[in-house]
């Protein structure tokens, strides 16, 4: 052990490291020989326990590729943002609806003038992490920007950040399901 209390392990450079996944805050890696010529021959009685252990690990029920911080499986659209939201200026749901944002399950979104999705003004992509949505957009021919959003008490709280201003301009918006 070193001064930090960590155990150091020297691995010879005859192996390649391949990441398998994580489970219960533990990291699992697979060490592979870097050359087919260096694979030792094992008797079946020595190899069988390793195969059983690896099979148990792979079928243990751990969600290796699940985004557990609020986004679900990548590309699954498992998010509370999905669907159409009517947008209002500011942080209250008062005044006229200024536009509509449509979040799709393929992690794309667009902002339109109408609830039916016609007259599209902005297109972009998004990702969800820890209940927060973030995504770049394009607003042709004006320029690019990003959206940042979260849901509080069923209300969409969204910042529409325009890069074409110096300094960049943030428009605070609120949204509800139409």
Give strand ranges (E) for the chain.
15-23, 26-33, 83-89, 99-103, 108-112, 120-125, 127-129, 132-139, 143-152, 155-162, 169-176
> Would you tell me how many other CB atoms lie within 10 Å of the CB of residue 24?
6
More confident residue, 143 or 54: 143
Backbone angles phi, psi at 114, to 5 degrees: -130, 155
Concatenating the DSSP letter of every residue in 47-94 gives HHHHHHHHHHHHTS---TT-BTTTTBSTTS--STT-EEEEEEESSSS-
Which positions ≥6 away from 135 have C-beta within 8 Å?
109, 124, 125, 126, 127, 146, 147
C-alpha to C-alpha distance for 164 and 170, rounded to whole angstroms: 11
Render pLDDT for 73-127 as a digit per residue (tens, 0 to 9): 344 445 899 999 999 999 999 999 999 999 999 999 999 999 999 999 999 999 9
C-alpha to C-alpha distance for 149 and 171, rounded to whole angstroms: 12
Render pLDDT for 26-79 as a digit per residue (tens, 0 to 9): 444 444 444 444 445 545 556 556 656 555 555 554 433 333 333 343 444 458
- Domain ranges for the chain, please list them: 1-64, 83-176
């Amino acid at each position: 052990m070193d001064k930090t209390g960590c155990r150091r392990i020297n691995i010879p450079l005859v192996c390649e490291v391949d990441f398998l996944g994580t489970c219960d805050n533990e990291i699992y890696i697979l060490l592979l020989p870097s050359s087919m010529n260096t694979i030792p021959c094992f008797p079946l009685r020595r190899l069988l326990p390793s195969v059983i252990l690896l099979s148990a690990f792979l079928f243990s029920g751990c969600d290796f590729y699940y985004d557990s911080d609020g986004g679900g499986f990548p590309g699954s659209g498992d998010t509370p943002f999905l669907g159409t939201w009517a947008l209002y200026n500011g942080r209250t749901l008062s005044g006229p609806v200024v536009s509509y944002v449509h979040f799709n399950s393929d992690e794309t979104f667009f902002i339109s003038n109408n609830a039916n999705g016609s007259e599209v003004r902005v297109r972009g992509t998004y990702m969800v992490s820890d209940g927060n949505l973030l995504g770049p957009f394009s607003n042709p021919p004006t320029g690019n920007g990003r959206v940042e959003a979260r849901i509080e008490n069923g209300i969409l709280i969204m910042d529409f950040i325009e890069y074409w201003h110096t300094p960049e301009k943030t428009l605070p918006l609120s949204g509800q399901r139409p």
